[in-house]
Structure 1
Amino acid sequence: MEYIFRQAKPEDAPQIWTILQQAIQRRKADGSKQWQDGYPNLEVIQSDIDKGYGFVLVVQDKLIGYSAVMQNNEPAYNDIEGQWLTDGDFIVIHRVAIDEQELGKGYARTIMQAIEDHARNTGVYSIKADTNFDNPGMLSIFTKMGYQYCGEVYFRGSARKAFEKVLDK
């Protein structure tokens, strides 16, 4: 499968927001509390894009996925209840979402692989991420892709499962 994984542009914001709204509704339908408190929202997406954190997955000229990708920029990760595998530079993954018409085709894993490639290309060999305890889809992806559970971190008062993957150089 050929794809493009690139930084999001301001004109991508409406499509990204549509994809995230779909994901918010899926989480709600699944009975999850994740993303049910007004976050993420369009302002968060616009901020991601403005700061260079927003990345999109494009397949056959269609934007089908989104993720925020940051380096060394997650203060909540400083207070993990547990222990990270590494202490050096790391990439942070947040807000992974796939267009509902494209679910079940492996695109979330494609985004995760593209982020790993991006990390290696920038000379960073650690990726850290978190998700709610009630998000079986992301928990499964982390397991299948070799992420190790490291403990819990807290966002907006809620505990999240924290994972890290150390990449081969």
Structure 2
Amino acid sequence: MEVKFRKAEPADIPAIWEVLKGAIARRKADGSKQWQDGYPNPEVVKKDIDNGYGYVLTDDNDIAGYCAVMINDEPAYKDIIGKWITDGDFVVYHRVAISENHLGKGLAKKMMTSIEDFARGNNIKSLKVDTNFDNPAMLSILKKAGYVYCGEVVFRGSPRKAFEKVLD
């Protein structure tokens, strides 16, 4: 198994959308309200890619995961109800999803490590992320990856749990 993390390309959109549709269905099956309102969608993915934010995780060249990764670009994080650990530059990521066909292979952990490597490569020590209160899979991943709960942010009209990890 050769796993790579790379920038997404417009030709990847159909495969990315399949990954996200599976994740949307899993959130629904979990009873989560996250991603049950038409977001994310192919237009969001296209915008991510056009802006250079879209990244895929490939497993032997098969698109196994997707996320959007940005630097200092989440206005909602300025209004946290709580307190971030750091106030400087940060990497933020959204729309984390692993393909139905690649679950159970440790690829979510690999994606998180790749995002940390992205941050280090940009000399940034802070990773910030948010998720729904009712997304047990992501909450578990964040806990295992060493993220610290910092408070709540409002994202797209809904309160979300906000987390930060400071890299060594």
TM-score, normalised on structure 1? 0.97
Corresponding position of 2:120:
120
- Quote the offset at 1:2 in angstroms: 3.2
TM-score, normalised on structure 2? 0.98
Corresponding position of 1:49:
49
Deviations 1:73-127 (A, max 9, x none): 0000000000000000000010000010111111111101000011101111100
Distance between the aligned counterparts of 1:142 and 1:26, measured in 2? 18
For 2:28, the aligned partner's letter is K
Deviations 1:59-79 (A, max 9, x none): 111110000000000000000
- Quote the offset at 1:4 in angstroms: 1.0
Matches within 5 A, 1:131-142: 131-142=131-142
**Local SS of the residue matching 1:24:** helix
Corresponding position of 1:26:
26
- Percent identity between matched residues is 65
5+ long unaligned stretches in structure 2: none
How many corresponding residue pairs?
168
**Local SS of the residue matching 1:141:** helix
CA-based RMSD of the aligned residues comes to: 0.8
Distance between the aligned counterparts of 1:102 and 1:146, measured in 2? 23
Matches within 5 A, 1:3-42: 3-42=3-42
Distance between the aligned counterparts of 1:108 and 1:117, measured in 2? 14
Answer yes or no: is 1:84 the counterpart of 2:74. Answer: no
Distance between the aligned counterparts of 2:167 and 2:22, measured in 1? 31
